[in-house]
Amino acid sequence: MSTAIHVEVLPARLGDCLLVECPRAGGPTWRMLVDGGPPDTWPLLEARLRRLDPADDRIDVAVITHVDNDHIGGMLPFLGSDLATRVGDVWFNGRTHLPAPKGSSRSIDQGEDAVAALLGLTPATPGTEVDGDAAKQAHDGARPWNEAFGRGSVDAGAAGGHVVVTVPDGPTITVLSPTTERLARLADTWAAAVRDALHGAEREIELDTLPPLDDLEHLADRRTVRDASVPNGSSIALLVEHRGASVLLGADAYGAVLASALHGLARARGTEALVVDALKLPHHGSQANVIAALLAAAPARHYLVSTNGDVFHHPDDAAMARVVLDAPSGSTLWFNYRTPRTERWADPRLLEQHGYRVVFPDPARPDAGTVIDLPTRP
Ligand SMILES: [Zn+2]
């Protein structure tokens, strides 16, 4: 049984940092890095990338799903390092990619220059306040940026839409989020979002409370407020398919946006629902994003949860209850940290009653996080 898609969900504390690899016949591995976690993930990410085989170490795509610190933090030192020369294309929606809201004409503000320059995507403008090594190394503006999209924005278009990118002999990648409208909303709050991303201090951590998991139906049905974070709504979410295997990388995207894009994609393919091998739950298993409509639109064999629970105490019990109740029988939950909060979902009583499995990282390799190989399917 050969591997079609290899996924690593690195331990990036409260954030996301994923490595996705697709082997190609007779050619180099197609490789995509999705987010870099918060800034303190960088040493671990750097060590991981330097362990790649020097004969096959290209990173075809580096995706920054959105500007939040727990996703962009580690990408700044990455794109400022020598490793950035291995990157074929950066997928990121910068200030220039955000559509103007109806009836307004806006000039580009300094916030855009700062973050794009820090990422090495545009020349730093004189007078722009940028700091750090990344800025010093990022002055030539030569880095390929959204080339797969004709240098335009990475978005799925109207609600329910999707955009397909094909890689010769490699995977098919379908953009499911953001919608053009969610990108336009980000334009309104861009300067504040960038300020938070670059300088945002984490909130103080409150004590987590862990109620018993004795009534999952009640937990799952709990009325929850939908995610209203504008940066989260601008998340780039991707479906990667290769040799019959598939992984849906949910970023911090809105559950309803993903669900309607998945329905549109299923309709376009003439199927009822799109069964995927693995679903990286959006927003670290937040109850505001992991909603029933999403779980119904993408039944999965494997659910990937990326968080150690820092700050926001993810994953939420309501979100995990929905997964356990709605997942196809025999599916597996993969947590990239074993914490008191995630451990409860491995209670033998729950596993037996609901027919699922749980996998935690190998305690002998705590830096590896979740490592999953999705086999080729005919
Ligand atoms: Zn996040």
129, with CB counted inside 10 A (0-12, 13-18, 19+), is: exposed
Structural domain that includes position 161: 3-375
Q: 202: how many CB neighbours lie within 10 A of its CB?
A: 13
| pLDDT tens digits along 19-46 | 999 999 888 999 999 999 999 999 999 9
Mean pLDDT score, 214-227: 89
Tell how far the Cα of 291 is from the centroid of ligand 1, in angstroms: 17
Q: How many domains does the chain have?
A: 1
User: Does the structure show a pLDDT above 80 at 98?
Assistant: yes
Mean pLDDT score, 118-124: 79
**Phi, psi (5° rounding) for residue 279?**
-125, 115
Tell how far the Cα of 252 is from the centroid of ligand 1, in angstroms: 6
User: Does the structure show a pLDDT above 90 at 334?
Assistant: yes
Higher pLDDT, 259 or 200: 259
Tell how far the Cα of 226 is from the centroid of ligand 1, in angstroms: 15
Tell how far the Cα of 67 is from the centroid of ligand 1, in angstroms: 9
Strands 276-280 and 245-249: parallel
Tell how far the Cα of 64 is from the centroid of ligand 1, in angstroms: 11
This prediction's pTM: 0.93
> What's the mean per-residue pLDDT of the chain?
90
SS3 state of residue 159: coil
Tell how far the Cα of 341 is from the centroid of ligand 1, in angstroms: 18
Tell how far the Cα of 242 is from the centroid of ligand 1, in angstroms: 26
Q: What is the CATH number of the domain that holds 254?
A: 3.60.15.10
* DSSP per-residue string spanning 302-370: EEEE----TTT-PSPHHHHHHHHHHSPTT-EEEESS--HHHHGGG-HHHHHHHT-EEE---TT-GGG-E
Residue 1 pLDDT class (50, 70, 90 cuts): confident
* DSSP per-residue string spanning 257-290: HHHHHHHHHHHHTT-SS--EEEEE-GGGG-TTTS
d(CA 267, CA 19): 29
| pLDDT tens digits along 152-177 | 999 999 999 999 999 999 999 999 99
Tell how far the Cα of 363 is from the centroid of ligand 1, in angstroms: 24
Handedness of CA 305, 340, 215, 221 (dihedral sign): negative
Q: For residues 161 and 176, is the Cβ–Cβ distance under 8 A?
A: no
Residue 83 pLDDT class (50, 70, 90 cuts): very high
Mean pLDDT score, 243-249: 98
Residue whose structure tokens are 């909130």: 203
